[in-house]
Amino acid sequence: MPIIVNMDVMMAKRKMSLNELSEKVGLTLANLSILKTGKAKAIRFSTLEAICKVLDCQPADILEFSKD
In a domain, 14, yes or no: yes
Range of the domain at 27: 3-62
- The string of pLDDT tens digits covering residues 10-64 is 999 999 999 999 999 999 999 999 999 989 999 999 999 999 999 999 999 999 9
Asked if pLDDT for residue 68 goes beyond 80, the answer is no
Gap between the terminal Cα atoms of the chain: 7
In a domain, 56, yes or no: yes
In a domain, 68, yes or no: no
In a domain, 30, yes or no: yes
In a domain, 51, yes or no: yes
Residue 67 pLDDT class (50, 70, 90 cuts): confident
CB 59, CB 4: distance < 8 Å: no
Q: What is the model's pTM?
A: 0.90
CB 31, CB 23: distance < 8 Å: no
Q: How many domains does the chain have?
A: 1
Domain harbouring 28, CATH code = 1.10.260.40
In a domain, 37, yes or no: yes
In a domain, 67, yes or no: no
